[in-house]
Amino acid sequence: GAGVSQSPSNKVTEKGKDVELRCDPISGHTALYWYRQSLGQGLEFLIYFQGNSAPDKSGLPSDRFSAERTGGSVSTLTIQRTQQEDSAVYLCASSLGGSGTYNEQFFGPGTRLTVL
Amino acid sequence: DAKTTQPPSMDCAEGRAANLPCNHSTISGNEYVYWYRQIHSQGPQYIIHGLKNNETNEMASLIITEDRKSSTLILPHATLRDTAVYYCIVRVAGAAGNKLTFGGGTRVLVKP
């Protein structure tokens, strides 16, 4: 595809349920990021994947959050036992990756998660 | 990463230049200034970045003061589609992960 895609676009779930959010990065991009944005707030980093390296999980808010990236492409963010404070827009971004220079991050449209 | 300060909101007339200020008085010598914007219900979009020289691309111009403690993003001919929240970030280029952290930004409303 032409850009980063995410699914679903909207997800409503009940407190305590598990949810999975999907991200399809731009083909050829080795770096993939997950962020979340609560209502009216700025961007909060969650996790970063770069090629086959161990992911940077330093932004995950609790052990209920996990993410994987299979085959260096598609990524899934899983939130277990969802809480109301998990309600936010979850954004995925990808870039050419690597360090030493700045590679523009391209963002997907996000998944709006609402926990009732 | 150095902290940035931006006005919370500003209005701009369509067709006129929009000048968005950003203060970053604690910026370090190896930190760049980046600008992103976020149109309602969309993901953030990269605009431009620079170190100390002024930069221009097809979207905007970035003017950085000589002491690098502040900068201005210029949208030369604002259109209604430029209505968005604009984020100014300072960080080291090539930092591990290049992860972004946005503050409150400036909410720009372009009026006809």
Three-state DSSP class for residue A14:
coil
Asked if A48's CB is within 8 angstroms of B93's CB, the reply is: no
Say which of B42, B98, B103 has its CB closest to residue A109: B42
Residues of B in contact with A30 (CB under 8 A): none
Asked if B99's CB is within 8 angstroms of A48's CB, the reply is: yes
Say which of A31, A42, A107 has its CB closest to residue B104: A42
User: pLDDT digits over A66-112, tens only?
Assistant: 999 988 799 999 999 999 999 999 999 998 876 555 678 899 999 99
Residues of A in contact with B99 (CB under 8 A): 33, 45, 48, 56, 59
C-beta pairs of A58-65 under 8 Å, 24+ apart in sequence: A59/B99
Which residue on chain A is closest to B31 by alpha carbon?
A: A102
Q: Which residues contact B88 (CB under 8 A, 6 or more apart)?
A: B4, B6, B20, B22, B24, B33, B34, B35, B71, B73, B105, B106
| pLDDT in the model for residue B12 | 95
Residue B112 neighbours by CB distance under 10 Å: 7
Query: Does residue A5 register a pLDDT over 70?
Result: yes
Asked if A50's CB is within 8 angstroms of B101's CB, the reply is: no
> Distances from the Cα of A52 to the Cαs of A78, A98, B8, B25, in angstroms?
20, 12, 40, 38
DSSP letters of A26-92? PTT--EEEEEEE-TT---EEEEEEETTSPPB-TT--STTEEEEEGGGS-EEEEE-S--GGG-EEEEE
Rounded Cα–Cα distance for residues A49 and A31 (Å): 6
| pLDDT in the model for residue B100 | 78
User: pLDDT digits over B46-62, tens only?
Assistant: 999 999 989 999 999 99
Which residue on chain B is closest to A10 by alpha carbon?
A: B41
Q: Mean pLDDT over residues A61-66, rounded?
A: 96
Say which of B43, B46, B94 has its CB closest to residue A109: B43
User: pLDDT digits over B64-74, tens only?
Assistant: 999 999 999 99
Backbone phi and psi for residue A25, each to the nearest 5 degrees, phi listed first: -75, 175
B57: closest CA of chain A, how far (Å): 14
Count Cβ neighbours within 10 Å for each residue of A56-93 and write b for 16 or more, e otherwise: beebbeeeebebebeeebebebebeebeeebbbbbbbb
